[in-house]
Structure 1
Amino acid sequence: MHRIRRALPSLTALVAFEAAARNGSFTVAAKELGVTQAAVSRRIAALEQEIGRQLFDRRNRRVALTEAGYDLFASVGVAFGGLVDTVDRLQSPQVKLTVAASVAFGHFRLLPLLASFRDQEPDVDLRVISEDSWAAPDDRQIDLAVRYGKPPFRGMRVVGALEERIIPVCAPQMAQRLGSLTLSDLAHRSDIQKIDSASPEPSWLNWAGWFQQLGWRGSFEAAKLHFSSYSDAAYAAMNGEGVALGWTHLLERPLADGRLTAMDLPALRRKNATTSLFSTDANLPRSRSVLALACQREPGTNRAA
């Protein structure tokens, strides 16, 4: 800082120089700065003396930059422009919104909505934390948390919910090839490869839980393709690798756009299990746009005939 103070000319003189160089006139610069033309002339003369170089050619009432003047004007313009941008940014109200959600919710619900969110909230800086966790978010700066179920998070309250419907899904080509299926077909046919994923929290259903809650009491072919992430399981189903359990609140978009097909099998509705959206009271106004977008329904669902 000491070197900067010692090396830099007077800021007042630099401001006068920038205005005169930009306008090509001491008189216009004086009007812009609210001083006399003589004051601008004195400041620029003092700057030239301090630098030891002539910055302007004085030609009667016209002035033109010298080569040294052009060099200085380029540097001063960049420096002043950066200062103006920084001050504007610091003076503008800075709104940040931090959302913590599962990896799958981030992939299938949030990412497709980012463009709409930016259109609605162009001044909001959005931070998304993707984590497969049932626990309360440990970051105190989180404004909106998406969690499965209704755990009591201190300092946050439920502000939205998505109903759970769980149904087998697969790629449209596979659904067409398999044709009409019964629950028994799904349980026993060895040519239907089931895709499973790890449970991010205790009440997440795998195939065994799904069959059991539908009342199936017989045996069934176990899943032979396992993923640690539900997102990977869903993408594997889209790629025709087999049949996955589809959590319709997560997969509404790929079901609506035809990347996935809901098989013509019973859909399991879970009365006491929803994906809940939590927010702090202090930051709830910032969360409303995300809430509205995250909870909106897709226009249609692709279902096997």
Structure 2
Amino acid sequence: MTPAVNVDRRHVSVESFDRYLASEVPVVLPIRGTPAVSVFVRPAKPELGLRIEVDPDTQAPVTGLNNIVARVADHEGQHYLEVVVVAAALFRDAYPVLCSMADRIQTEGMKPAHALRETLGQLASLLREPESISQEREIGLFGELLTLGGLAASVGSSAAVGAWRGPQGEEHDFGLPAADVEVKTTIGERRAHWIDSLTQLQPTTNRPLWLVSHQLTAAGTGFGKTLPELIDEVGSTLHSTIRDDFDAKLSAAGWSATYAQRLTSRWERRTESAAFEVDEQFPRLVPDALQRAGLSIARLIQVRYRVDLDGIASPVTIPAVIVAALGS
């Protein structure tokens, strides 16, 4: 995999690129250099592509990949070679690779066809569909679906699926009118969870933030559920008008129906699920607290830590919608 590209001068940062994706509007991002190169996004198609100015006699090669195509296009009388990713779930990962292709052409002097061959080798491994998902993702998705199922039974399936924002890369997994919910799931003997950033446990609105903790264990034959079974169970309760939205969010979360036969592990709750209000007393690392302590966070570009909630009592009074989010 290509290392992160230099985003200081030549390329839009990955964070800014994420905001462009979230806006869901077409955009063209020029990359300074010669020949003229730009990145474009067409959310409605969907397409993410690299557009390179080329000679009129340039022929587009066959990529041999399902999720990426190469073509020659004319724009305002100029000929361009376009390398286009057509799977929206891969846009974020493909963007730095396309930027590296631009670097090969503009800073290393490679011919576009040569740069394309070099880049396709990397994209082939990126765009090749994996045979399954990691156990960490399996467990995480299982927990989110437990919460989704509980919320659907309480607030209605349309509202619950609409509130499910984790697959879209939002800071918190569910955004409800009365609260935001972060879902954490573990198969460990202790109720300990990984927190993936300094902002994951920081409220992003005036609504309170709750952490819902699911603790699972392997179940014997005839007990518990597999992830595919839970997906089918939750999906069967949804109205047909929102099933497409549910399927799209499953795909964005990394799920493919082709994984179903391989995911045979059965899971059940090790303990009852628990909810914790993420307030000033909750154990967490957030920017405001670190800054009040006099610590500079400007150079902390990646922070991941683990919180042990074993023995911490849930609040005596829990809002009804958070009780529903426990998915009991």
Higher relative contact order (CA 8 A, sep 6+): 1
The question of a shared fold, defined as TM-score above 0.5 by the shorter chain, is answered with no
Q: Which has the higher helix share?
A: 1
Rg (Cα) greater in structure: 1
User: TM-score, structure 2 length as denominator?
Assistant: 0.24
